[in-house]
Amino acid sequence: MTQALKKLAWPRSYKQVTSQCLPRFYSTPTYSTPAPAGASEAEVLSAKNYCSGLLQKFDSPSHTLLAFIPPSAQPAYLALRAFNIETSRIADTVSTPTVGAMRLQFWRDNVNRAFSGTPPKEPVSILLSHALADLDARTGGTAKMSKSWLMRIIGEREKYLNNAPYPTLESLEKYGENTYSMLLYLTLQALPMGSVTADHIASHVGKAVGITAVLRGLPLVAFPPPPNHHSNSSPLGGTLDAQRRSQGSVTLPLDVMARTGVRDEDVLRKGAEAEGLRDAVFEVATRASDHLITARQMLKNVYAGEDVDHAFEYDGEEGHDYEGQTNKGPGKAAQQKEEVDRAFGVFMPAVATGLWLDKLQKLDFDVFREELRRRDWKLPWKAYFAHRRRMF
């Protein structure tokens, strides 16, 4: 194995990896589907480029992992990930929760118009509407994306507009389910894929990604950059919410902070040296890692022809109706393996999340270390081998 690896012509840079290795899976999609009403094909292409640029700037792992999404679903993937960036940044870019709620209402209106086929002149909405029209054309109207799941993402973002801490670790877990798991469910629908097994794995991956995203953002929320004094949204009087934003906040679950003896004022004064902080980060990171381990074990069971070891807790809820999918009988194992094979590209955020958690462990759970905010040059390689072996 070692000799075989030595013979490979290893690229010398991150750009060579992404340009030479990843495009082997899927090529750039073509836009043969007519543009949605009110949007020209040029506007759709411009929207695609805008969303791609947004990912490159604010979510480079998702931009790298685009290569593993089938071409037909790539517009939906880009639109959904750009939507996630736009809505997640609202809490950090507004002066008060009231302004944030207004911006989230703007996105609710955009989603409604995108699903009606009349998107506003806004890139994410245009690309989302195009993806919906393309899915309808590809499947003859038999497959749909769930508007309620996008609304649930907005609703969950609205709960934490003031960057308040999560009451419990379970509430942080629910946040991951209602945001990042929803993104994965929607991407599966865009394939299209309606599978209880695929959704079950996506649920655990999404929870791990969501919990990790909160840990990654902890230093930036605790020590926010200076406000933009040229912004018209800057408060003149200095409300309590505005003061809290300027001082920062600690978004770790309160029950974890209580168990580990962490006080938010210590974190805001001492940063990484706050007593008990690393223990708290360890406990939260362990929960994220547990979800990755569960998803990994489910994959092993599926490829071994065995059943997953536990039931999907959201089976039967809105959007999780699997009528006709009994998953019983002699063809059950083969059906599950085929579904997971088709859906595996959607699970790839697990690779980036696992790499970040491994790095956090090596740094002794010091979440303030600068290394944790750098682009991981190993992601393209790890993602390539994970996709090839169907295991992350």
pLDDT tens, position by position, 118-159: 999 999 999 999 999 999 999 999 999 999 999 999 999 999
Q: How far apart are CA 332 and CA 193, in angstroms?
A: 16
Distances 310 to 173, 313, 319 between C-alpha atoms, Å = 18, 9, 20
Mean predicted lDDT score pLDDT of the chain: 87
Whether the link from the prior residue into 235 is cis, omega within 30° of 0, is: no
Residue 319: pLDDT band (50, 70, 90) is confident
- Lowest pLDDT segment from 4-8, 54-58, 284-288: 4-8
List phi, psi (to 5°) of 228: -80, 105
Output the pLDDT for position 240. 40
Residue 34 has a pLDDT of 58
Q: Give me the mean pLDDT over the 222-230 stretch.
A: 67
- What pLDDT, on the 0 to 100 scale, is given for residue 40? 87
Q: Is pLDDT at 30 greater than 70 in this prediction?
A: no
Of residues 73 and 231, more confidently modeled: 73
CB atoms within 10 A of CB 296: 18
| Per-residue confidence (pLDDT) for residue 124, from 0 to 100 | 98
DSSP state of 275: T
Tens digits of residue pLDDT in 321-359: 887 665 566 678 899 999 999 999 999 999 999 999 999
**What are 206-215's pLDDT values in tens digits?**
999 999 999 9
| Residue 18 predicted with pLDDT over 90 | no
More confident residue, 84 or 229: 84
Q: pLDDT at residue 23 above 70?
A: no
Tokens matching residue 148: 């309620």
CA–CA distances in Å: residue 288 to residues 175, 196, 293, 352: 12, 21, 9, 13
The predicted structure's pLDDT at residue 140 = 96
User: In this model, does residue 391 exceed pLDDT 60?
Assistant: yes
**Tokens 């953002």 map to which residue?**
217
Instruction: Output phi, psi for 315, to 5 deg.
Output: -60, 130
Bigger pLDDT: 32 or 197? 197
153 or 36, which is more confident?
153
Is the full-model pTM beyond 0.85? yes
Q: How many CB atoms lie within 10 A of CB 34?
A: 13
Q: How confident is the model over 53-82, as a mean pLDDT?
A: 98
Q: Report the amino acid identity of residue 353.
A: T
Q: Give the pLDDT band of residue 311 (cuts 50, 70, 90).
A: confident
For the segment 365-391, the average pLDDT, to the nearest whole number, is 96
Q: Give tens-digit pLDDT for 92-113.
A: 888 889 999 999 999 999 999 9
pLDDT surpassing 70 at residue 24: no
- Pair of tokens at residue 352: 């980036």
